[in-house]
Amino acid sequence: MAIKIFTVAEMVAAERAADAAGVSYDEMMETAGRRVAEAILERTVVEERHVLVLVGPGNNGGDGLVAGRYLAEAGADVVFYLYKPRDANVDINFARIQQMDLLFIEAGSDKNHGALATYLANADIIIDALLGTGVTRPIDGNLAGLFEKVRAILATQAFLQIEADPLTSIVRAGAESRQQQRRFIVAVDCPSGLNCDTGSLDPLAMPADLTVTFAGAKRGHFRFPGAAACGELVVADINIPVDLPEVMGVAVELATAKSTLLLLPVRPTGGHKGTFGTALIAAGSEHYWGAPVLAAMGAYRVGTGLVALAVPEAVRATAAGQLPEATYPPLAATKVLDGESARFLLGELGAVRGILVGPGLGPADSFMQALLQPLRDQQTQSLADVADFPPLVVDADGLNLLSRMPDWPARLPADTVLTPHPGEMARLMGMSLSELKEIDRVALAVDQAEAWGHVVLLKGAYTVVASADGRCTILPFANPLLAVGGSGDVLAGIIVGLLAQGLKPYDAAVLGGYLHGAAGELAKEKFGDAGLLAGELADWIPEARRRILEI
């Protein structure tokens, strides 16, 4: 079962339906708190360590009470700091911590937050269970004072973490510095102050190292600035039945290694290059020589049997020197692909199972017009002729060329994969980039995929893939290492390579985007968050694929 990404209203409806189906709110809270404790225990030792649980007045606070109880049973020294009093006669989780004789402090009796300051100073692990997913108002009043105190103390302690070193190595910069292990901050469901629909973040919010959310992720976990405050995001199962209509009806899903495993093309041991498909990449121009090679590298690294690289004469010899594995159709165009090039390629589509148009293509308007002409005039074509047009990916300059064509969505094969970054998306929609940035990325991709009748892969941190039938997948990657020229060319090549191996367009976009992001995460382990070349990124794709196969 795929992991769903809920709006707050969808999550409320799912919990209500689960309660009606026999999984009570108390049971969900008990499971949620236990899952938080389990996530902490998997990541750090808690025995004899100091844990401070910041407990809010609602269900989020109840989850925190349960989590603290389990950590105390595991040997942690746990203190609960209650923003509002709780009644043990009606609150079973508060009653249980009293039965265990665990220390709790009520904020109302803590003059000037003195006790809070003391326990924060000693805490190894802080659990933020103050505000839940339904909060939309700014943090104010007494609660704002509590947050200000917490932030001030943590900021002071963070400043004191790095110890002075009397001997500073000039050659091995940073190698000799010593840093104490900083506090581990865990958010229950979301960092308090995060709007779980919009991703807006209260200025007083406390960023987490780990966020444990329940039943599914929330939209705000993947929208900035809030996404940057979540740290590692873990989705915990709290036994809400996945077959409830209120769960199954949630359209947005999260791509994971397990979900993409089901999409990987089969690699029969008796296969040959024809088995694994032929991809045609029409790309490059006199000013952009590298883009076609990067796209072809992506296609080959994802397992495509054969790549035909259709480039103008000015690029061909250089491209062939860098990528001798590809074939190079003998096009007459010298600097930019033209209408004659398109007509030649249309006659060579017999074995082609996927086409990519766009990387580095330049001002090739006549090429794009001629390539799509058979589809524009399909009323005069036989159905067989139209059906023989392979699945298409349009990227980069190809998207810019489309934006200048009237009624361009109708000229494309059904379910063409469009891979715009925000600037290209704005041009396709005929609006400014500033206007586009005001629109929710998920809604934007879903609405335009439906309006255009194609697959939209909207690039960026937490890339969104949407289809014309309403499906939507968010990719779980926000990696600045991938913000380098040519990265998108590699991605487009991966996707067309998967089309060539027989995947449907939406599946190819989801799996291709996931492999691209996973390759970036693997490279990040070696390079950190800067310094990767796009060609090097392509080299990580087989390892990303292998890791998925091993789960």
Instruction: Dump pLDDT digits (tens) for 28-38.
Output: 999 999 999 99
Query: Is the pLDDT confidence value at 281 over 70?
Result: yes
CATH of domain 3-164+175-250: 3.40.50.10260
Q: 73 pLDDT band (50/70/90 cuts)?
A: very high
Instruction: Name, in order, each residue with C-beta under 8 angstroms of 396's C-beta and a sequence gap of 6 or more.
Output: 291, 358, 359, 360, 361, 419, 424, 488, 489, 492
What pLDDT shows up at residue 173?
Answer: 42
Domains 3-164+175-250 and 260-549 share a fold: no
What pLDDT shows up at residue 171?
Answer: 55
What pLDDT shows up at residue 135?
Answer: 81
Query: Is the pLDDT confidence value at 384 over 50?
Result: no
Are the beta carbons of 37 and 74 closer than 8 angstroms?
A: yes
Extents of the domains making up the chain: 3-164+175-250, 260-549
Query: Is the pLDDT confidence value at 163 over 80?
Result: no
* CATH 3.60.10.10 applies to domain 260-549: no
Using one digit for the tens of pLDDT, what is the confidence trace for 426-455? 999 999 999 999 999 999 999 999 999 999
- Please state, rounded to an integer, the average pLDDT across all residues of the chain: 92
Composition of the chain by helix, strand, coil, percent to 5: 45, 15, 40
Are the beta carbons of 492 and 356 closer than 8 angstroms?
A: yes
Are the beta carbons of 278 and 500 closer than 8 angstroms?
A: yes
Lookup result for tokens 């390629």: 345
Say how far residue 52 (Cα) sits from the centre of its chain. 31
Q: Which range has the worst mean pLDDT, 85-89, 181-185, 313-317, 356-360?
A: 181-185
305: phi then psi, degrees, rounded to nearest 5: -70, -40
